[in-house]
Homo-oligomer: A and B are copies of this chain.
Amino acid sequence: MVKKINHIAIIVEDIEKSLVPYKQGLGLKPTDVEYVESYDVRVAFLPIGDTQIELVQPMGNDGDLVEFLKKTGGGLHHIALEVEDIHQTIHRLDQAGIPLKDRSTQKGAHNSTVTFAEQTGFDGVVIELVEPAK
């Protein structure tokens, strides 16, 4: 079962610069910027209601996120849905014939378990599934 939207990810070139309009223009309060080694990105979260916007700044020279940044100049990248049981959700997607990028799960931020559906299954939208650490 999908419980809520865990976050909406936006790829940016310069996270400190990108935070300014959210803070000054919209009065949102971001978390501290942190480095996530497994994805080689710097991230900050902007809590809004029961969800949050995640700004993501790729730090490397290649990879999917860098390609996305080069191609688009930055922008909306994916929606992360928080689920109760990620393996049950994967099984359900399988049964509905909706492809996943990778059938195994990975460790995400804050010790969560994550996986991604193929964009082709959702009109080009990247859907991440997140099961938070218990």
Contacts and interface: CB of A to CB of B under 8 A. Distances in A.
Contacts of A81: 26, 48
A34 B56 CA distance: 35
Interface residues of A, number: 44
Interface in A47-64: 48-51, 53
Nearest to A9: B76
Contacts of A49: 3-5, 49-51, 82
Contacts of A5: 5, 8, 48-49, 51
Contacts of A117: 25
Interface in A65-83: 72-77, 79, 81-82
28 contacts: A2-B26, A2-B27, A2-B28, A4-B48, A4-B51, A5-B5, A11-B123, A18-B123, A20-B96, A21-B96, A22-B122, A25-B92, A25-B93, A25-B98, A26-B81, A26-B89, A27-B92, A49-B50, A50-B50, A50-B51, A51-B51, A53-B79, A72-B124, A73-B123, A75-B124, A75-B125, A76-B76, A76-B77
